[in-house]
């Protein structure tokens, strides 16, 4: 069994971020040592310094998902040789821990949970493994290991909060059942307004219609172009920047769409934010690059619904979060709560 890094000495950890947009793998160096006031609880062990990334490799090809869930074999075929190559270039050394964050881990991760612990132990002699939903690694990347709430927004949207005794989740149910306020939600609302304008119905926007036809072609042909697509949520989300642009230009319909989206996002944050004063709330993901037309009303709604909370910038992304979890696991300083679906640990 691989031992955790000795105090004051460096060790290697691996972080994996597997999502719908591809696969990213990082090798990092972590040093351990007592750091008074660093936030470690009594009895947790030594506190880990921030992992120093040695090398990262990435691919835009996502790991397959089939009837049995996320394809563990394909993930291993891509992760094992990539990490072995990075270790050789880094001069070798034992791996203290691995953390894998994967979209769909909660509901589609049974094969990962069954196959990855044995595979990593056989390949690298590492027993310390964290299998996490991508929302957990997004949380760790944004806030580290302190209590609070994180809203991860992109094509979809999920909110996750913890008081370090358990997790609370809101939304993340996909574009048909939820993901309210997400890129797909905003894009669909914008296209609805575009088609209303095309038909001459109330609630339409000529500006959004013009943007839709510029992006997708003639409005009458949009159903045939959209419905057969297997990546419909991503196609819908691709129109969200057009909605933001129209709102920035003063289109009242687009403004109202983003005001409604902001309210949905704030409600998700409210649902998961731990009680008590001065909770931290962070927003992470490409959705929030839409800018002030979304962020302005969102800040107002967060101030109304969570008056004691403090919005803080996200410290890093989900790959950073996977490395934070791996480093903490390697050094016995993990504070984030275990959960059979969201964060499963092997020690």
Rg (CA), the chain: 22
Q: Model confidence over 313-346: pLDDT tens digits? A: 999 999 999 999 999 999 999 999 999 889 999 8
Tokens of 112: 């990962």
Tokens of 186: 């905003």
**Per-residue pLDDT for 7 more than 80?**
no
Q: Model confidence over 261-305: pLDDT tens digits? A: 999 999 999 999 998 777 899 999 889 999 999 999 999 999 999
**What is the value of pTM for the model shown?**
0.84
Split at pLDDT 50, 70, 90, the class of 217 is very high
Average pLDDT, the chain: 88
Q: Report the SS3 class of residue 282.
A: strand
Split at pLDDT 50, 70, 90, the class of 3 is very low
**Per-residue pLDDT for 205 more than 80?**
yes
Q: Rounded to a whole number, what is the distance in angstroms from the first to the last CA of the chain?
A: 9
Angle between helices 206-216 and 240-248 (to 10 degrees): 140
Count other Cβ atoms within 10 Å, centred on residue 88.
9
Q: What is the dihedral of CA 167, 169, 174, 179, to 10 degrees?
A: -140
Split at pLDDT 50, 70, 90, the class of 31 is confident
**Sequence-ordered alpha helix ranges (H) in the chain:** 72-90, 105-108, 110-124, 134-143, 183-199, 206-216, 222-226, 232-237, 240-248, 252-272, 292-305, 318-330
User: 3-state SS of 92-103?
Assistant: CCCEEEEEEEEC
């Amino acid at each position: 069994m691989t031992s955790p890094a000795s105090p004051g000495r460096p060790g290697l950890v691996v972080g994996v971020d597997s999502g719908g947009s591809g696969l990213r793998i990082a090798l990092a160096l972590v040093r351990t040592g007592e750091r008074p006031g660093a936030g470690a609880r009594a009895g947790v062990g030594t506190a880990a310094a921030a992992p120093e990334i040695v090398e990262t490799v990435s691919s835009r090809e996502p790991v397959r998902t089939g009837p049995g869930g996320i394809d563990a074999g394909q993930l291993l075929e891509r992760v094992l040789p990539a990490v072995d190559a990075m270790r050789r270039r880094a001069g070798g050394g034992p791996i203290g821990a691995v953390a894998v964050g994967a979209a769909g881990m909660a509901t589609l991760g049974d094969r990962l949970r069954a196959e990855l612990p044995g595979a990593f132990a056989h390949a690298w002699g590492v027993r310390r493994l964290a299998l996490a939903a991508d929302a957990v690694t997004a949380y760790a990347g944004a806030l580290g290991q302190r209590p609070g709430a994180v809203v991860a927004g992109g094509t979809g949207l999920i909110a996750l909060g913890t008081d370090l005794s358990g997790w609370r989740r809101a939304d993340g149910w996909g574009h048909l059942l939820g993901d309210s306020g997400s890129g797909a939600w905003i894009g669909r609302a914008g296209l609805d307004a575009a088609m209303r304008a095309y038909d001459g119905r109330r609630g339409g926007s000529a500006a959004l219609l013009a943007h839709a036809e510029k992006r997708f072609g003639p409005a009458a042909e949009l159903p045939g172009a959209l419905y057969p697509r297997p990546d419909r949520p991503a196609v819908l989300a691709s129109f969200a920047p057009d909605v933001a642009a129209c709102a920035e230009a003063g289109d009242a319909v687009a403004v109202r769409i983003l005001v409604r989206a902001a309210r949905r996002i704030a409600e998700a944050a409210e649902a998961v934010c731990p009680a008590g004063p001065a909770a931290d709330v962070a927003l992470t993901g490409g959705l929030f690059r839409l800018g002030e037309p979304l962020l302005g009303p969102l800040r107002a709604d967060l101030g109304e619904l969570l008056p004691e909370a403090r919005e803080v910038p996200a410290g890093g992304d989900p790959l950073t979060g996977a490395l934070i979890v791996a480093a903490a696991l390697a050094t016995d300083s993990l504070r984030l709560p275990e959960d059979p679906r969201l964060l499963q640990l092997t020690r």
